[in-house]
Structure 1
């Protein structure tokens, strides 16, 4: 199915992203790519299927389904991919058209869309058949639901090669196991070839993949047992800063979150988040965790109830809030693609946040000034991102890098309350521990940090935990 011999990939600025990679994936086999965030795993996949974005060039021999990609034009490559390959992207929200209904999305890649049983396809990936009705749009789904719709869409094309990029990221443990079992079952029943990109050791082992580790643009093959295990999160440091523990930063009373004409997603939520606390909100995919965070920052409609920040009443919509409040209350979105301005270089996006979030008195700082550029570089370094990330656009970064850039932009605003929606979901173990260590330092300074997560070891590091259940918020710790 895939043959790479001496394949190298360079960016337009001359950076070497992949260095003489050799990889053979035969029909019916299962292979996994592992390695740090930003190592080039997604770039390798795109090179293998002839889908490199503009600005990246590949050298070496590449074959897909027995066809040499070097001899094909763009349209011929697209026809070959459509016939042989389906890709489940690591950012399903970006892959799905937000104005397209769930049913239309599931049928989108099928050769004969009219023959696709949408309800059965949704049921196969653990989604209720009701999502296919009432022209429900994919943009109204949670991140976990979008991921499963994207999987149903990919499977409806009956591909011979299924490429899945971080298939379990952002899913609750039950759904994660369901998705892995589904991939295993589908691959066995249909004889589908699997190429998996993942940081999830358990998923890779359960699928029985042959593992290839990519680091610094070079590929090596290792047994499954040598995939790096996620290190436990250290909980020995204080999780609540004593000086700030009694002060409630964020308060919600009787919060009802509902779109017009729809039943409430959350009904009567009460929440008190103290400063200097590392908190978690858990719950199954689609339970309403992201809706809660978006309502708090004023992006989703609030039908009833009240919100307070540092004792001051908040207007329900973000447009009705002053800039100082918008800076103090920051959300790091789960969708790293949609949350960042696609046309701006990363450094410019962060610099704008620094200038807006800076002091209101004294000389006005400029985005291009040396001082602001130095702050941008410092934020990127604190999050383990290379300095040249500042000159790249979001589509030139990996999913894990985009998540950390979103966090850097939020931190540039000097927030009082930081809401992080699956911020560690696409990170390798080392990057995840680095991010959590940074969040612990923020907590120690009095910032309230709320993590919306499915990761048990991340939850274990939190001092306060709430669970979203049937539209209610229940304190569990």
Structure 2
């Protein structure tokens, strides 16, 4: 069968420094019409540069020096730029990773889609407006007649991604390139976007090139897979064969690094080192320095392609030489209750953190005199507690108030009402100097370490700044005090797995995972008892995520730290947390030990949230619940149960009265009328 897209020996270089960067180095692949082909690998492997090469949208200094890219038999690399413009957005559509950076902030959504239509079709204004409404409705945007006149900032993350899909589909493409289309989205919105892409693919018989590092998304979407490493493909296979029998040591390590429940009492497998710089000239296997099965030949001779099964090829000397192969990993392991452990017993001691009826409301000002016209109830009556040395995971969709809870606990934003008690001390009523003395006991790790680290300060200065501000024992100006501070910084860097000499470097000189380690070291510098972790692994590759999770678990064991772990990654919750609280529109709607909530979710929202998580398992083994609509505005919360507009089990009482607590044992509770009345 003739492929829709055929790439042969593609080589793309970037001339941005003293040595050229071989971003794509000899890539060959084929994509059939109507199939989803996943390109999998760590950041820096060349996945996004492959997509930009196909579109011929390389950055300054980028050049395709060798190879062929054929779309339905037409060579794209020889097309003049004028002809290529008809291909971009026409025959090939692309969804970029960050929709907010890809949409024009000063043009309405309708105007941006109309630009695409005007570029690729001869169409009148009335017909264009009708087509815009059709596209917006096709991607599931409600009230398209009104929303096409709105600007990107008026849309949520999931809706912006739908707008990007509508723009990509406007030219009726044969091939859709999706570059990390769901990385920053909640699991419920991610499920909607993936469903949408599948439905549109079936309707249009469209091929999809899916670029991602999320194995769960690959398992849900892909027909065939190629694993990229250091600019080249190292394994290709069908989805079924890849997930049952990953062959390359790198692929096997990616699976071993995934956090799962059966690994709770052990560290995650970590891929040592980093992806090598693509400016170096490779001689042998590019993975050799990070492979625990490498021998001399691996560093001297580049491995050839070897077929390990029909349609499954791998670039590895283990298979080319007939050496004893590493046992295949079962991607769908089954484990007994004894293996995964039972729920911990309730803590007897007084909790380290106790939050009672916390409310954080922000006033809405309108009119010339900025009168208060309403309230955004970001947090609306939240109660939780965390025991010493334990981890509570706070999960929920974006906009539900998770980060606001963390900032209110830290006293970075004032609480409207409620109590926040840390180690027996009420924080809300403390004066500034009193609060300063307590700040060393609780610290935060932000989601984006690059934005939270001062780019003009060296790492030693970043860590020392907090130590001097919050830890009076280190505020010594003597030479002995300075030496001790330096020793403490060295010890901290070693504790988080960084070399001592790293303290003289700047944040931009580190990878994403290393910057997160620096952020953790800065938080630990003042010996806190509580760490608030706000999505600390959401933007990290699987292998780097494993390093950070191992570090957090080790630090908890060594220092007795307690964590409030804010996340939407359920697999991380399953691996790391002791307890779990599900948040919806400013309130906790279900709470219990992790095994209780994940194995027997009670609230319909929790059930939908868990079912929407992409899973590396047989799709026939679980029912998927798709939520309709989006999270309501906290400025205008629905009456009664806040979830009732989206609930598949809604009853008349749900629209009138907020449900009370329903208890299932001593530790598992929910707020739902299903358990308060007959159903």
Smaller-chain TM-score bracket: 0.7 to 0.9
Structure 1 position 5 matched with structure 2 position 20: no
2:556 alignment partner, one of 443, 446, 469: 443
Structure 1 position 223 matched with structure 2 position 238: yes
| Aligned equivalent of 2:395 | 282
**Closer, same or farther: CA 404–127 of 1 in aligned 2, 3 Å:** farther
1:191-229 CA deviation, whole Å, 9 max, x = no partner?
333111123334324334321101233213233231554
1:251-330 to structure 2, matched below 5 A, reads 251=355, 253-258=357-362, 260=364, 261-296=374-409, 303-305=416-418, 307=420, 311=425, 313=427, 325=439, 328-330=442-444
**Which segment drifts farther, 404-413 or 108-117?**
108-117
1:286-435 to structure 2, matched below 5 A, reads 286-296=399-409, 303-305=416-418, 307=420, 311=425, 313=427, 325=439, 328-333=442-447, 339=451, 344=455, 348=457, 350-359=459-468, 360-362=474-476, 381=497, 393=508, 402=512, 405-406=515-516, 408-414=518-524, 416-435=529-548
- What's the CA shift for 1:23? 3.1
Q: SS at the partner of 2:88?
A: helix
- What's the CA shift for 1:35? 1.8
Q: SS at the partner of 1:61?
A: strand
1:210 alignment partner, one of 224, 234, 238: 224
Q: SS at the partner of 1:449?
A: strand
CA distance in 2, matches of 1:279, 1:119: 44
- What's the CA shift for 1:117? 7.6
1:425-464 CA deviation, whole Å, 9 max, x = no partner?
3444433322211111232213332222333332223112
Q: SS at the partner of 2:360?
A: strand
Find the structure with the greater CA-based Rg. 2
1:144-159 to structure 2, matched below 5 A, reads 145-158=156-169, 159=171
Please, what is the CA RMSD of the aligned residues?
A: 4.9
1:244-289 CA deviation, whole Å, 9 max, x = no partner?
9745247464222446245423312223234422221122454333
CA distance in 2, matches of 1:452, 1:188: 36
Q: SS at the partner of 1:412?
A: helix
CA distance in 2, matches of 1:323, 1:43: 49
Q: Is the 8 A contact 2:517 2:548 kept in 1?
A: no
- What's the CA shift for 1:81? 3.5
**Closer, same or farther: CA 196–314 of 1 in aligned 2, 3 Å:** farther
2:96 alignment partner, one of 89, 108, 114: 89
Which one has more relative contact order, counting CA pairs under 8 Å at least 6 apart?
A: 1
1:469 alignment partner, one of 584, 598, 607: 584
Q: Is the 8 A contact 2:8 2:27 kept in 1?
A: yes
**Closer, same or farther: CA 104–329 of 1 in aligned 2, 3 Å:** farther
2:49 alignment partner, one of 28, 39, 43: 43
| Aligned equivalent of 2:279 | none
* TM-score normalised by the chain length of structure 1: 0.73
* TM-score normalised by the chain length of structure 2: 0.54
Q: Is the 8 A contact 1:257 1:300 kept in 2?
A: no
1:173-184 to structure 2, matched below 5 A, reads 173-184=187-198
1:365-420 CA deviation, whole Å, 9 max, x = no partner?
99xx998997897588559xxx8xx67849xx9xxx53663453243232554333
Unaligned runs of 5+ in 2: 119-124, 244-250, 267-340, 365-373, 469-473, 593-679
**Would you say how many aligned residue pairs link Structure 1 and Structure 2?**
454
CA distance in 1, matches of 2:59, 2:490: 30
Q: Is the 8 A contact 2:360 2:379 kept in 1?
A: yes
**Closer, same or farther: CA 271–374 of 1 in aligned 2, 3 Å:** same
**Closer, same or farther: CA 252–40 of 1 in aligned 2, 3 Å:** farther
**Which segment drifts farther, 290-299 or 441-450?**
290-299
